[in-house]
Structure 1
């Protein structure tokens, strides 16, 4: 990769976190401000970045256009969106859609809750594999021969007292997800949030995404969130049907 391209990508990554000044970007890149300014001017000319009156740079509209086109190109997002919207409207809770890409679970759609509590998650942001319900669903859907390597490659960051801490605990959790057909985040990523997730399948029956619903415990306790699992599963199954999946009569999603 060329040095200029790498620097430009690094700038975009940095600005994705928060707006930054020319001096801050030069310091983080370890190069002279004039070098960074030339890159920024080129990127601004193509609308990849923009700056305000205080000369703080932020991501530009061109990048969001490309990101939106990429997301719209995902058939699962298009098929699932009406069902995510219906679930969100019926429950008033936060609904997520995630896929597994390059070893990560990534949120590709989100509908916020109607109450004032907002989730940390964002579209395009990875979801921790070991302590989010979508992460567990997506890894559990992979061949078991891959589980051990994934489990041993995770950095088990302890977000809460309930967070899984070891590969062995994680492998046991994956077995549970397969056995019950859904995954939980029981205050494992955020201490006041309970979440359930289920798979979305394509016409071959393969799991291509995970749909979840997250609820603050001040609104519903753990058992009440589990009680909403049929609604979450119905939304996922409806999206799966649009993608060509055909369940057997009287059944929901097939076992792993």
Structure 2
């Protein structure tokens, strides 16, 4: 990978945590200020970085526009949208759609609860891999070797007393999710928040996305949410059938064109 590209990829997540001065950016990169300044000027010229009046740098509007456009062009999101809205209408609870990208599971769509107490989440934001129902659904679908390698390199923060404690426990849970075809987060990320999730499968049977229904205890306790699991699974299956029938799951990989 180009050294400049690698440095840019290190700057952007650093600025995502908040504005930073030139010296802070140079420290993150481990380079002289003049080198950091050249990189920031290039990113700024393309709109990916903005220089504030106080001299600090933050992420620019072009980056957000690019992310939003990428999300808009995820075909499974477009197909899923009316079904997410219908599931929300039937249950009143928050509905999420997520996809797996590299070592992250990211929300790509959301329909908010109609109740006053809502689930806090944002489209485009990664989910906590070791506790979120959508993450368990998608990671359980990985081949065994990939699951084991991922589990070994993850951290296991104790969000609550019910958070997954270590890699061995995580692998056991993923094995169960793989066998039963659905996942839960019952207070693993937040004490009072429960969630059930199911896979959206493509034409080859692999999970292309995950659907979840979430609610705080004040809106629906764990048993009440689990009772809605069949509806969640039916919705995910419907999205998967429409996605597979649309032909999106059969698109050729451009890198394979011309391959024998």
**TM-score category by the smaller chain?**
0.7 to 0.9
- Aligned partners of 1:7 and 1:72: how far apart in 2? 28
Tell me which residue corresponds to 1:142: 142
Instruction: State the 1:215 CA deviation.
Output: 1.0
Does structure 1 residue 224 correspond to structure 2 residue 233? no
> CA separation of 1:62/1:111 partners in 2, compared to 1, >3 Å: closer, same or farther?
same
Is the partner of 1:19 in helix, strand or coil? coil
Aligned-pair RMSD on alpha carbons? 2.5
CA contact 2:117–2:218 (8 Å) conserved in 1: no
Q: For residues 202 and 112 of structure 1, what CA distance do their matches in structure 2 show?
A: 26
Which stretch has the larger CA shift, 227-236 or 75-84?
A: 227-236
Deviation of 1:28 (Å): 3.1
1:185 equivalent in alignment to 2:220: no
Secondary structure at the aligned position of 1:20 is classed as coil
TM-score (norm 1): 0.82
Match of 2:100 in 1: 100
Q: Any idea what SS the aligned residue of 1:191 has?
A: coil
The Cα of 1:115 is off from its aligned counterpart by 4.3
CA deviation after TM superposition for structure 1 residue 76, in Å? 1.4
1:20–1:111 distance in 2 versus 1, CA, 3 Å? farther
The answer (yes or no) to whether the contact 2:119–2:216 under 8 Å persists in 1 is no
Query: Could you list the per-position Cα deviations for residues 6-53 of structure 1 after superposition, in whole angstroms to 9, with x for gaps in the alignment?
Result: 332222221222222334323433444443333323222211122333
Unaligned runs of 5+ in 1: 246-256
Q: How far apart are 1:116 and its partner, in Å? A: 5.1
Indicate the SS of the match to 1:129: coil
Q: Deviations along 1:155-176, whole A, 9 cap, x unmatched? A: 2222211112233333332333
Shift of 1:198: 0.4
Check conservation: 2:93, 2:114, Cα contact below 8 A: yes
Q: Give 5+ residue unaligned stretches, structure 2.
A: 246-260
| 1:20–1:82 distance in 2 versus 1, CA, 3 Å | farther
Given the alignment of the two structures, is residue 198 of structure 1 paired with residue 183 of structure 2, yes or no?
Answer: no
| Structure 1 match to 2:24 | 24
Distance 2:87 2:210 in 1: 14
1:41-56 mapped onto 2 (5 Å cutoff): 41-56=41-56
CA distance in 2, matches of 1:120, 1:113: 10
Provide the aligned length of Structure 1 versus Structure 2: 245
* Distance 1:32-1:211 versus aligned 2 partners, 3 A rule: same
Which runs of structure 2 are paired with 1:113-132 in the superposition (5 Å)? 113-115=113-115, 117=117, 119=119, 121-132=121-132
CA distance in 2, matches of 1:225, 1:89: 15
Q: CA deviation at 1:211?
A: 0.6
Q: Deviations over 1:176-226 (max 9, x none)?
A: 323432110010112221000001011232221111111111221110111
SS in 2 for 1:161: coil
Q: For residue 166 of structure 1, what is the aligned residue in structure 2? A: 166
Residue 83 (structure 2) pairs with residue 87 (structure 1): no
